[in-house]
Amino acid sequence: MKKRLLLCLFTLAPLAMGGPRPTAAPPTVKSKQVAPKVVAPPKVQGHPTGNDDPKVYYSYGALDYTTVDERLLLTKSVIFEYKDTIFKSDKVLYDRKEKIASSPSPVQLDDAQNTITGERGTAFYKLKTAKIEGNVKIIARPKPGNPQSPRKGLRKDFDSPVEILCNSVNYNWKNKIAIPEGNIRISFSIKKNKKTQKWNVTSDTMQYDGNTETVQLKGNVKARADNGDKLSGDSGTVILKEGIEELKIGQASGNFDSDQIDEDEKPEKKETPPPTEKKTGGTGSDSVE
């Protein structure tokens, strides 16, 4: 009996003396999640310094910016400038990582030789190309072969620049090649025998090369002048270069004879490059290369 009592007292002694007791787990503290701070791209003012400048510059009236995917939503008189190319619209979604500017609104693309307008469009700056869609109009301004040469040939007799209409166009502004698609028509006016003659040419496919100033036509080519002249064939070429202007379709050809040009007609209209607009708001730039 005494042994059992001593054993019980010995067992309870640690508890009476403040020995270790089981404790509950400490409460967990939940950390607060802080949303990343939205930081707009820096406002860098400037314009391309030349064709060696690797940056694309942009200006805008308003900006929405997300840091997650590096996308800018630019609105109100948006202008992108890259080398000698200007891309304009009232609304542009710009992917800074991929260097792609896309607009669901009417766009205008200008360079030294061409102006392209359409209902919507995308500029791929890494690829140096643009895709313009919806009632596309291309105004091509052929350049004089030699500005110091005597005023011969037909360059001065283009009453208006060459106009190409189509549903859509892929344009590479580096090599100045445009490939129109859908309902293609090219039109231009010349003077012959002191009269203005307008030609309209249609074909299934077409390629305009601004460097060589030629238009290649393929498939169901038809040409009609406003005086009733007609040409047709499966393929054709329009040469717009000064001094050798010519329209060739199939086995037939129509030569624009410079001997028939009245040298006393009004002088050539000089085309000026598209103006560079300066708008209030923000600006920025990104390096493409």
Cα separation, 258 vs 247, whole angstroms: 14
Q: What is the pLDDT at residue 171? A: 97
pTM higher than the cut 0.75: no
Alpha carbon 275 to chain centroid distance?
A: 17
The pLDDT score that the predictor gives to residue 258 is 34
The answer to whether residues 67 and 60 touch, using CB atoms and an 8 Å cutoff, is no
Q: For residue 199, name the pLDDT band (cuts at 50, 70, 90).
A: confident
Q: Which amino acid is at 5?
A: L
Is the model's pLDDT at 257 over the cut of 50?
Answer: no
Tell me, what's the pLDDT at 154?
42
Distance CA 287, CA 126 (A): 10
Residue 149: band (very low, low, confident or very high) from pLDDT cuts 50, 70, 90: very low
- Give the residue-averaged pLDDT of 22-34: 58
pLDDT band at 131 (very low <50, low <70, confident <90, very high): very high
207: Cβ contacts below 8 Å, ≥ 6 apart: 177, 178, 179, 215, 216
When pLDDT is averaged across residues 93-99 and rounded to a whole number, the result is 94
CA pair distance 58, 43, nearest whole angstrom: 10
Please give the average per-residue pLDDT across 223-246, as a whole number: 84
Determine the pLDDT at residue 256: 43
Q: Is the pLDDT of residue 153 over 50?
A: no
HEC sequence for the chain: CHHHHHHHHHHHHHHHCCCCCCCCCCCCCCCCCCCCCCCCCCCCCCCCCCCCCCEEEEEECEEEEECCCCEEEEEEEEEEEECCEEEEEEEEEEECCCCEEEECCCEEEECCCEEEEECEEEEECCCCEEEEEEEEEEEECCCCCCCCCCCCCCHHHCCCCEEEEEEEEEEECCCCEEEEECCEEEEEEEEECCEEEEEEEEECEEEEECCCCEEEEEEEEEEEECCCCEEEEEEEEEECCCCCCEEEECCEEEECCHHHCCCCCCCCCCCCCCCCCCCCCEEEEEECC
Q: Which of 36-50, 74-88, 160-174, 193-207 is least confident?
A: 36-50
Please determine, for residue 197, whether its predicted confidence score (pLDDT) is greater than 70.
yes
Strand partners, 170: 131, 179
Identify the band that residue 120 occupies on the pLDDT scale cut at 50, 70 and 90.
very high
Tokens (6 digits) for 36:
């990343």
pLDDT reported for residue 150: 41
Tokens of residue 50, six digits:
């030349």
Q: Which residues pair with 181 in a beta bridge?
A: 168
